[in-house]
Structure 1
């Protein structure tokens, strides 16, 4: 598939995802979906170059939902897998398989820095931890200047650790 066809397929998928997010989710999920689809579109072998746009749109939402607890009723927003499949006219097995393909290809997991919702990023249990001399400690136990250094580094998307000797 040439680049123009890939762009057209990408646009179809984005339009479907935008419609789903506006009806069932929020802008945060759409922005993450857009970023994910664009990243997939830059792969050497673009996975959505073949297949139906509806399947890839459903798989995109499913992949992001899996790593952001979308299917857990105690989280907001909440959507069931059946709602995704009903909306896009897809099956659980196909959506699940493509979702797994996306997560494996991009190495996605819970608390992923690039593809976590704002709520997940804020509730990340690891965000208040830092490595000091090979031990994991709470940032709050560090002197103030080190706490500031950790927060500044993480705000810049970097990670940081300390050695005292």
Structure 2
């Protein structure tokens, strides 16, 4: 694979992503898409030059959109497909490969926007030593109660011994 050809392809894809982002994404979201592209460009197993630039751009954007629930905000496969003039199945399959390869999902903070990270329901729960998953506020309240009870029991036991 020719390095110059690869760099040209990467720049084309980056420009496509930026063009789409100007109309549909925030700067933070565009940055995440570019980060996915950069990780993709470092993969030795994938020859990025063998696929058209618009397909790669649509795939990167759709992989990001799936993990960030952008379809709820109106960025659908139809919109991406019409913007880049590529078939939905083509970039959808490539986006699926990217998601598997880089573990792009809504629980991975590397690929989700700050807004999604803040609204993640897993932020509000914790796992106890026994393996139970409980809300954080319930866990902190019960652990405080346990400490008070334990101290009270120790004091009572000491009184009984003396």
1:4-153 correspondence to structure 2 within 5 Å: 4-46=4-46, 48-72=48-72, 75=73, 78-133=74-129, 134-143=131-140
- What TM-score results when the alignment is normalised by the length of structure 1? 0.77
Q: Which runs of 4+ in 1 moved over 4 A?
A: none
- Runs (5+) with no aligned partner, structure 1: 147-165
* CA deviations over 1:105-130 (Å, ceiling 9, x no partner): 11222222210112111100001222
**Which moves more between the two structures, 3-12 or 20-29?**
3-12
1:9 Cα offset (Å): 1.5
Separation in structure 2 between the aligned mates of residue 43 and residue 15 of structure 1, nearest angstrom: 20
Separation in structure 2 between the aligned mates of residue 111 and residue 93 of structure 1, nearest angstrom: 25
Cα pair 2:13 2:53 within 8 Å, conserved: yes
1:16 Cα offset (Å): 0.6
Count the aligned residue pairs: 141
CA separation of 1:92 and 1:139: change in aligned 2, threshold 3 A: same
Query: 2:150 corresponds to which residue?
Result: none
- What TM-score results when the alignment is normalised by the length of structure 2? 0.78
